[in-house]
């Protein structure tokens, strides 16, 4: 088999999801599904996916609905429950009956928590949440939404987009070339560069973050309660990876999560913000690999007796 192969799966409401598969033959090591954050796509995981695959795991990295090469939902259905049903479809298609490990960054982690509300927790051999907890700091969440909604008409050049990204992540060294931005931006017929996500994805979040303050905080608490309900259903080994400089996940929200999931472990990655894997991919991937090594072997399917 090839080192990486692209494939498609039908998600919730018929949305087409594009996935990169890093295949392994039958192994006792669990499959790993990588869920990117809002505004990202499967390419954010390329280096991590290759490293985990080299360690012997079957790896799946897919574009969430409305992101990357996956199709946009014509009805604008981008609630975390829709994303969770997509995750379950991906898990069933590429992992079969064997439990898998979900590694979810930001909204990818929220998707994993909601999946625990709507499906049995036995589907999962492990859970890794990347800078996301059921209750997050609303100021940090607003900053994410503001960044994603700030340039609806895109950019004249990739360098202009690079300036905006650098201002959002001032702690991250700026790359020498902007060519890599073509993975998160596409060029329209008029020459402008726009994000590779459906604008409807973020407009559904703007109302929650920037509506009437009292109403938005109430809806934020309701969302936190739903995520907390999912967290309490987790039975698999669990790791929370936090960016030490994150303004979205604080030590207080980490402690609340560990109270809800007492068997979970938490680790901070120094000198990283909300985009942990992008800020220090080596440190992040090492933390995930160390966690994966502690997961008990997955029993092999029984072979049918010779006739």
DSSP string, 63-90: PPTTBTTSPPPTT----HHHHHHHHHHH
Residue 37 is encoded by which pair of tokens? 């954050």
Burial of 35 (0-12, 13-18, 19+ CB in 10 A): buried
Amino acid 24: pLDDT: 87
Task: Compute the 3-state secondary structure of the chain and give helix, strand, coil in percent, each to the nearest 5.
Answer: 45, 20, 40
pLDDT digits (tens, 9 = 90+) for 234-260: 999 999 999 999 999 999 999 999 999
Contacts of 133 (CB under 8 A, 6+ apart): 227, 240, 249, 253, 254, 256, 257
> Is 239 within 8 Å of 269 (Cβ atoms)?
no
Amino acid 1: pLDDT: 43
Helices (H) and strands (E) in the chain, counts: 10, 10
Neighbours of 296 (CB within 10 A): 10
Residue bearing tokens 């898990």:
91
CATH code of the domain occupying 5-136+213-293: 3.40.50.1820
Amino acid 30: pLDDT: 95
Question: 3-state class of 167 per DSSP?
Answer: helix
Amino acid 175: pLDDT: 86
Domain ranges of the chain: 5-136+213-293
% of the chain exceeding 70 in pLDDT: 93
Q: Which of 34, 97, 25 is nearest to 284 (CA)?
A: 34
Q: Which of 265, 261, 266, 267 is nearest to 234 (CA)?
A: 261
> Is 279 within 8 Å of 243 (Cβ atoms)?
yes
pTM: 0.93
Residue 190 is encoded by which pair of tokens? 């008029």
Instruction: Please give the Cα distance from 204 to 76 (Å, whole number).
Output: 8
Counting as low any pLDDT under 50, the low residues of the chain are 1-2, 307
């Amino acid at each position: 088999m090839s080192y990486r192969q692209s494939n498609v799966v039908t998600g919730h409401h018929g949305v087409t999801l594009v996935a990169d598969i890093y295949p392994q033959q039958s192994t006792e090591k669990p499959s790993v599904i990588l869920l990117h954050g809002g505004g990202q796509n499967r390419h954010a995981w390329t280096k991590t996916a290759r490293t985990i695959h080299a360690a012997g795991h079957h790896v799946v990295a897919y574009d969430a609905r409305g992101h990357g090469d996956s199709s946009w939902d014509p009805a604008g259905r981008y609630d975390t429950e829709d994303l969770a049903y997509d995750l379950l479809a991906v898990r069933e298609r590429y992992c079969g009956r064997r439990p898998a490990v979900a590694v979810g960054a930001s909204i990818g982690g929220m998707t994993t928590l909601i999946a625990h509300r709507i499906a049995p927790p036995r589907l999962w051999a492990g859970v890794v949440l990347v800078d996301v907890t059921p209750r997050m700091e609303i100021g940090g969440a607003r900053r994410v939404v503001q960044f994603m909604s700030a340039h609806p008409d895109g950019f004249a050049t990739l360098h202009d987009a690079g300036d905006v990204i650098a201002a959002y992540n001032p702690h991250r060294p700026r790359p020498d070339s902007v060519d890599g931005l073509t993975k998160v931006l596409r060029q329209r017929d008029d020459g402008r560069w726009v994000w590779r996500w459906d604008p409807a994805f973020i407009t559904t979040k703007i109302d929650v973050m920037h509506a009437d303050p009292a109403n938005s905080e109430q809806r934020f608490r309701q969302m936190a309660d739903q995520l907390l309900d999912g967290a309490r259903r987790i039975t698999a080994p669990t790791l929370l990876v936090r960016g030490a400089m994150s303004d979205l996940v604080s030590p207080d929200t980490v402690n609340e999560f560990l109270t809800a999931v007492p068997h979970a472990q938490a680790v901070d990655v120094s000198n990283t913000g909300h985009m942990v894997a992008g800020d220090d991919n080596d440190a992040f991937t090492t933390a995930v690999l160390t966690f994966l090594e502690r997961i008990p072997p997955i029993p092999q399917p029984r072979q049918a007796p010779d006739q």
